[in-house]
Structure formats: structure tokens, C-alpha cells
Amino acid sequence: MSDASEHSPTPNIAAVLSELDFLRYRLQKIEDRKPWFVNIAAGITLVAAFGFASFLGGLYYQTNAISVKVDQVHSIVSEGNGSLKERTSVIETKLGEIDKKLDRLIPNAPSQRSVSRP
């Protein structure tokens, strides 16, 4: 029976405790570094979020400025008595009247629209 007990693996308790101490030491080192990594990651996230918010804010103000310019151009072109649309309609009416007067003065003259230009 003594032969069987010699062949069975008996753990060396001192070696196991030494290995456990080493693992605890490594784990403690990792945990000591962890807050440092967490703080850096949180800082990077905060900077990225602030940068993205600043970008969106700048984009909002730029879009708002362009919208104001488009509204100004629209009001100049299409609204009111002094608008470009109103002015061109007055000019077109006057040109139409001049064309009719010329047609009455020179009835046999060819129209400008039918004359081909070189």
C-alpha cells in the first residue's frame, strides 16, 4: 500500500500558497492601474463628446446664418412692391407697350423675334 501512496499526487501546499500570493500580487497591480485607465478613458470620452457638441453647435449657427441669407434673397426676389418680380413685370409691360407702338408705326417691318442673328 505504501507504493500506491507514493504514486498519488500530493500537492505541495507551500508551492500552491506561493502561486496564490503571486496571483494576488498580479491582480492587485492590475487593480491599481485600472483607475488610471478608467480616468483616461473617461477624459477621452468627455473631450470627444464636447468636441462633437461644439461641431454640432457650429453647424447649427452656420445653417441658421445661411437660412437668414436665403430668406433675405427670397424677400428681395418675390415679395413686396419693390421686389425683383414686381420690377421685372413692370419692365415687361412697358416693353410690350413699346413693341405694340412700333408695330403700329411700322406695320410691314419684320418682328425682332423672327429675324435670325448671325
The DSSP code for 113 is T
* Rounded Cα distance, 89 and 19, in Å: 96
Candidates 89, 111, 87, 115; CA nearest to 100 is: 111
pTM: 0.41
The CA-atom distances, in angstroms, between 73 and each of 14, 53, 60 are 88, 30, 20
Which residues have a Cβ under 8 Å from the Cβ of 103 and sit 6 or more positions away?
Answer: 109, 111
Q: For 8-114, where are the alpha helices, taking DSSP H only?
A: 13-78, 84-105
CA angle, 106 then 109 then 113, to 5°: 120
What is the predicted pLDDT for the residue at 44? 93
Question: What type of residue sits at position 17?
Answer: L
What is the predicted pLDDT for the residue at 118? 43
What is the predicted pLDDT for the residue at 6? 53
pLDDT in tens, the chain (118 residues): 455 455 555 668 888 888 888 889 888 887 777 777 778 888 999 999 999 999 999 999 999 999 999 988 887 777 767 777 777 888 899 999 998 888 888 877 665 555 444 4
Q: 109 with 101: CB under 8 angstroms?
A: no
Q: How many residues does the chain have?
A: 118
